[in-house]
Amino acid sequence: MKKIFLPFFGIAFLVACNGNDSGSSTNTTVTSNEPLAMNYTITNIYPHDTSSFVEGLEWHDGRILESTGDSDYKGKSKLAYVDLKTGKDLQKINLDTKYFGEGTTLLNGKIYQMTYKENKCFVYDAKTFTKLKEFDYEGEGWGMTNNGKQLIMNNGGDKLYFRDPETFKVMSIVSVTDNNGPVAMINEMEWVDGIIYANIYTKDIIIKINPESGKVLARADFSGLKEKYFAETLHTDVLNGIAYDSVGKRFFITGKNWPKMFEVKF
């Protein structure tokens, strides 16, 4: 989705005994239906390309896979493998200027990359980035992940669309809700051990979603991260991007045009 310029408000950060940052939500009036506060610890910080308007993030074979958008439609939308330690592209392809790159996921040796309003999902060979096919779909494309069998996408609303990876046909739809009702603006997503972790556009939070019921189980508050680590004069956009290294049991998070990528443990 395109840029929305928003004010950001800082909160206090707790400092762990080992010097790493940690944080959590601090609402003390939790009800049985309210999402739990999800604690986190920042364990490492890496450089990130500030020209990357992040829409999709994955971890694959020791590298970051990143899909980016371009609100000006000037050819900056790309798909790239990125070196974690340097933030530099190792391998990339640029989308045609008529496309705004969106969410991406890897399944069975293929990379799926959606577009924002162009109603296209491109399928590439995960090693060579050779385009294998493309699918058409209705509505916008925002975040994407998979459960090992089906693709899971959203379009900025409160729905998760489970799709057949061979046909892109919608197999089922799940509505995401918390104690206040439907949860809209779901953005970048990551499937981890049967749970979906997701960004919410315009909010500095990450939520955990039960993919069967759609219930939001927990919420991590990353408010103040930008103010703590970024220069005041640096133009950045919202938190967006969650990747998971299943071997190292570590998450990576970043944002649109952010200069840093954070290694996080929840």
CA distance 46 to 259: 9
CA distance 118 to 96: 11
Least confident interval from 65-69, 93-97, 224-228, 233-237: 233-237
| Domains defined along the chain, listed by start | 42-265 (2.130.10.10)
Give the pLDDT confidence of 174-222 residue by residue, as tens digits: 999 999 999 999 999 999 999 999 999 999 999 999 999 999 999 999 9
Predicted confidence band of residue 29 (pLDDT cuts 50, 70, 90): very low
Rg of the chain taking only CA atoms, in angstroms: 17
Give CA 245 to chain center in angstroms. Answer: 14
The pair of structure tokens assigned to 206 is 């990450």
Q: What percentage of residues in the chain have a pLDDT greater than 90? A: 82
**Predicted TM-score of the model (pTM):** 0.88
Give the pLDDT confidence of 57-86 residue by residue, as tens digits: 999 999 999 999 998 898 899 999 999 999
CA nearest to 241, candidates 55, 80, 60: 55
